[in-house]
Amino acid sequence: MGRLFGTDGVRGVAGRDLTAELAMDLSVAAAHVLGDAGAFDGGGRQSRPVAVVGRDPRASGEFLEAAVVAGLASSGVDVLRLGVLPTPAVAYLTTALEADMGVMISASHNPAPDNGIKFLTRGGYKLPDAVENEIEQRLGEKWERPVGASVGRVREAHDEADRYVSHVLSTVDVRLDGLSVVLDCAHGAAHMVAPEALRRAGATVETIGVRPDGLNINAGVGSTHMDKLRQIVVSRNADVGIAYDGDADRCLAVSHTGEIVDGDQIMAVLAMAMHAEGTLSGDTVVATVMSNLGFKIALKNAGVDVVETAVGDRYVLEAMRAGGYNLGGEQSGHVLLLDHATTGDGLLTSLHLLAVVARQKRPLAELASVMTRLPQVLVNVKGVDRTKASVPELSAAVTAAESELGETGRVLIRPSGTEPMIRVMVEAASAEQAESLAGRLADVVRTACV
């Protein structure tokens, strides 16, 4: 698998790449690394450190959870098994329960055969790259195993899902009475908590994707497959549709007209509302280089600054914490509201989006029209040398394309971090111009980057 840790934990085909043995070894190594780094010294307890463990409903999550729990308990860590809960719920409960670490077993929007493991530090934050590297280096090391009273104990969670739901509901100050919402929970981790939260907030809720069988997660539903949601929203004359991914750390929306409202538009709606209310820290939003140019233009015209980062919610979070900002995210629907969460939270985001709709008494389509989404074309050029993304021939072609676009568009050339591939992204005033320029630049990549 090369480097085990990717941008969001360790992922692979469960049982082949991500085995029970690897899951146990990762948990042992993580416990040793975090323990040696002093991460278990902040709880003020004299007893064993505590970890919370959650998962999404994939069938493989059952054996992987057992392996993770065994690895932690055999390392002298007490474990609280949360069962099936969203990633942001595990992050929140890591803090709320004063746990020393958290573990989430999920492959997010990936198909059911995949699975993944991500570790969280005390406070509910993802591990820094350096800590992940050390965990990899210490896999399989010899260690002195605790025995007797020193081994970790394992307990089942009780009412912790309700604790999380109550938390997200406490962050909004308006009822959703009168709003009709269709929820697509992707047969994933939010299938219980999301409908419960929105109904308690007052919305009339219809659901799809709420019958996980371990094998149907993200299958034709969720934020990567939104056609069914769009059809139901329009046919039911619903006000809003919300789609989560498998672990519910992100969401996308659908307006009453059936139009998809992406992460950029969701951030724009939230940013405008927070800016007007005086709650947007530094009048700044953090977004990645992939956010649509229309998003940046709209916020600039509203007096809101945009700080750009590399692609990946971890980089968004780093910039937000460094700058003291409280709103950021990605076009894919990972939105971080740091006043209330330490990671992207699809349920939290959807509640705050619906709260703006309710508070302003305006349809989502009208709110989302605050930004004009410029046509964006992405071409993945495979089988090339990704290290040659800045060769003179390609740089010259990019300069020419940027000259042609002027201020009405932009070009982004981005090498893949894991594959022999270079991504060409072009935004322009028209789809035809974006497609033409992206095609021409892709042809240059194919000839110049081999």
Strands 421-427 and 154-156, by their bridges, are: unpaired
Give per-residue burial for 326-349: e unless 16+ CB within 10 Å, then b: bbbbbbbbbbbbbebbbbbbbbbb
Please give the distance of CA 213 from its chain centroid, rounded to a whole number.
23
Q: What is the DSSP string of 322-389?
A: HHT--EEE-TTS-EEETTT-SS--HHHHHHHHHHHHHHHT--HHHHHTTS----EEEEEEESS-GGGT
Catalytic entry in 108, 255, 332, 350: 108
| Four-point Cα dihedral 47, 48, 49, 51, nearest 10 | -120
CA distances from 327 to 84, 253, 260, 318 (A): 27, 18, 21, 12
244, 235, 247, 297: which is closest to 56 by C-alpha? Answer: 247
104, 98, 105, 87: which is closest to 122 by C-alpha? Answer: 98
Q: Is 108 a catalytic residue?
A: yes
CA distance 273 to 283: 11
Owner of token pair 């659901």: 207
Give the residue ranges of DSSP H helices in 78-192: 87-96, 129-137, 160-170
> Which residues participate in catalysis according to the annotation?
108
